[in-house]
Amino acid sequence: MAVAEQVREMLHTGTLTQVMQHEERLAHAAAHDPDGLEALRAAIAGDDQAVAIAAVHAASHVDDERASDVLDAALRDARPFLREHSAWAFARRRPRTAAIPPLVDLVIAGGFGGMIAQRTLEAWGDDAPEAVVAHLSEALRTHTAAPVRRRLTETLGLIRDPRALPHLDRAAHDPSEEAVVRDAARDALDDARHRDARERDARERDAVATAEPGSAADTELTIAQLFLGADIDAGLRTVGSDNNGGIATLLVRLGDALIGDAPSCGGPIGGSIGGGRSDRSGAAPATVGRVLTLSRGADVDCTPAATAAADQPSRHAYAPIHLPVAAASVEDTWSNFVAARRGIARALVEHGPVHAIHLRMADVGTFAAWDVANALGIPVIFTAAPDPHALIESLEHSGVLTRQNFGEHDARDRYWFRARLVRDLARRADHTVLMPRERLRADLQRLVGIEIDDAAQYTPVAEGIDVGVIDAAVDEARAVAQGADPEPLLAELAELLRGLPAHRRGLPLLISVGRLHRVKGMSSIVEAWADPELREHCNLLIVGGNLARPSADEAEQIARIDALVDPAERAAQGLLLVGHRPNETAARWVAAARFGIPGLAAPHGVYVCGSMKEEFGLAILEAMAAGVFVIAPLRGGPATYVESGRTGVLVDTSDVGQLRAAIATGLARAADEPDARAAASRALVSERFSIHTMARTLAGIYRAAHGRRRTAPLSTESDQHA
């Protein structure tokens, strides 16, 4: 089909996710139809912003210099989203000197656009290093702000050309430069000195491994796992703060389970982090030798003294990746791309050899690690889910997202880039793990555009929790309900409840644990609960968020909550907004919602998740394992394990009225055969969603991926994701 026909079809049919998938066909048509440039130019100028973005990327495939004219015009367009997508698309083209200044302007501005421009300038540095270095050095002469100078300096460090070195050397040793600029220059110089050696060593290790007798099954694997959106520590002390959500809990528990439930550095000996009985039901011997968890950085005590105290070497190690930009918003995180890539490379080499790396999330950390893994020849396992695809579909259905405003929303939430990253990694990773959902095959084909029939490439794997940790929380909460004195963690909850008016102390608890972020719907929960009729039947306990130093996302949710309930009247009305707590504390408070605390909270409380969607929902599973009746989103993973009407209620959380009705239903049903329901919930979680079941399945996937890669040639080409 010719380009003009493809564009016409995209303009008049399909959803936003279908337009995003159609981009591939449009690009293929453009590569074979140079005369279609005018149709692409018209689409870019049109008011259908989704098709305009697709047309920009399609133009990059046209083998005609006029296509660069089209991209150059888009790079200077008044609409910011088109400028950024043009900068991205230009990475496929040969360097154009006239386009370098607007790319440098994007670097100066920072954020996602700056990262994309850095990638394109890095690619162009191979063929036009003199021009790229000249424009970057000129920008350094005219800009004095330290964050801008840092970005320009680290971009210079991406250019593999001797002409960049004097500028870097001068910045590294100039005492008048801010520390962040000097650090960027030193990192770039260090990277230039060691980059080739790292890749050469990786090739040599690969060659040795391939030549060694015996099978991959003989190798004691080292597996890396990564999430740079959080400060992950072995004690899970910051879970629920900022971006520290369920992923942090998962990586700590999973890392321990992969090595046979040995304690993490800083964790207790002989048990899982957080105390209590470890869930070892049916656990096979450890099949992974070491686990390396990379995160944004935390005060993890992995010193030799701490290791010696455990009387064994640390087999689950934590490596912080220093990121120079303190991210006040998701947009800020993209400015850390270069530093993240360099830090990940250093960590993997220092702790190597690493035999596979498991990536999750479509974010800057995953994108940077994909680059590094390609360069070092490390097999990649990627967990794929239709995110942000399902969210796009939901927002389009509600009318929030339209073809006419998609680009403006994309400039904030990076839907197109994240969706493309998920699709590309799902197809090209050494193995792709899939989040279970009710219509898994159909949803991934419809929303993401991937077919999952190849069992050698795609494996559904349910996430898991350590049921033993929850059992310990349940035992303690039950004992308190029967008259025992509470231990310190439940004593803290009791003290909070004493701050409520006397007439509210006999009500059950409605509890939610998670980040204060709009996608988690905490303000929606408050809005649903704040209805006077519902509010008189329960108190609401929200555990999560950094209340003392909230991020921009947290501040937005707090403001919404404050508009619903006067902060001075929270306790009087029954709202306890307490901020984040360690995972161990949250587990005990959820269990207390089931049993109550004599004189302070009635039994038969309810757990509520107000997320717009949950790809899986670890906190929901933990509540179910504790025997608590749950309210969960209809969309995503919970539909595969919540038996609506029996163990919980599935609801469209985007509708506050429906959420309110579901909470009322939950409070009414929580007292019906509570012990039988709790036993059924725990049995389901233990049998299907144990962290050890997950670990055994993943260990087999890691070993198979390593075995395949041992016989494959190493590629050191970095994927441009373009």
d(CA 485, CA 482): 9
Among 2-16, 32-46, 323-337, 588-602, the minimum mean pLDDT is found in 323-337
pLDDT at 210: 53
Whether the pLDDT of residue 117 is over 60: the answer is yes
What are 490's two structure tokens?
């439940």
* Dist. CA 368–CA 432, nearest whole Å: 18
Q: pLDDT tens, 333-388?
A: 999 999 999 999 999 999 989 999 999 999 999 999 999 999 999 999 999 999 99
pLDDT-derived band at 519 (thresholds 50, 70, 90) equals: confident
Q: Report pLDDT for 262.
A: 41
SS3 at position 319: strand
Q: Is 379 in contact with 698 (CB distance < 8 Å)? A: no
Which of 239, 710, 685 has the alpha carbon at shortest distance from 470?
685
Residue 266 has pLDDT above 50, yes or no: no
Phi-psi region of 278 (alpha: psi -120 to 50; beta: other; left: phi over 0): beta
> pLDDT at position 232, please?
85
All structural domains of the chain: 3-195 (1.25.10.10), 214-465+694-710 (3.40.50.2000), 484-689 (3.40.50.2000)
522 token code pair: 């905490």
- Residue 722's pLDDT band, with cuts at 50, 70 and 90, is very low
Give the mean model confidence (pLDDT) for residues 256-277: 48
pLDDT in tens, 536-576: 999 999 999 999 989 888 999 999 999 999 999 999 999 99
* pLDDT single digits (tens) 597-610: 999 999 999 999 99
Question: Given a cut of 50, is residue 310 above it in pLDDT?
Answer: no
In single-letter form, the type of residue at position 323 comes to L
For tokens 């608890």, the residue is 509
* Helix (H/G/I), strand (E/B), else coil: 638: helix
Model confidence pLDDT, tens digit, residues 456-499:
899 999 999 989 889 999 999 999 999 999 999 999 999 999 99
What pLDDT score does 218 carry? 60
The DSSP result for 460-480, as a single string, is E----B-HHHHHHHHHHHHHH
Query: Would you state the pLDDT for residue 300?
Result: 46
Per-residue pLDDT of 384-406, as tens digits, reads 999 999 889 989 988 999 999 99
Residues 6+ apart with CB under 8 A from 308: none
Determine the 3-state secondary structure of 434 from DSSP: strand
Average the pLDDT over 619-642 and give the result.
Answer: 93
Distance (Å, whole) CA 89 – CA 73: 13
Q: Do 258 and 699 touch, CB atoms closer than 8 A? A: yes
pLDDT mean over 585-592: 96
Please give the Cα distance from 33 to 3 (Å, whole number): 7
Q: Is the pLDDT of residue 73 over 80?
A: yes
Residue 278 pLDDT: 45
What is the pLDDT at residue 196? 66
Residue 603 tokens read as: 């039994």
CA distance 133 to 167: 9
Rounded to the nearest integer, the mean pLDDT of the chain is: 88
Confidence at residue 193, expressed as pLDDT on a 0 to 100 scale? 82
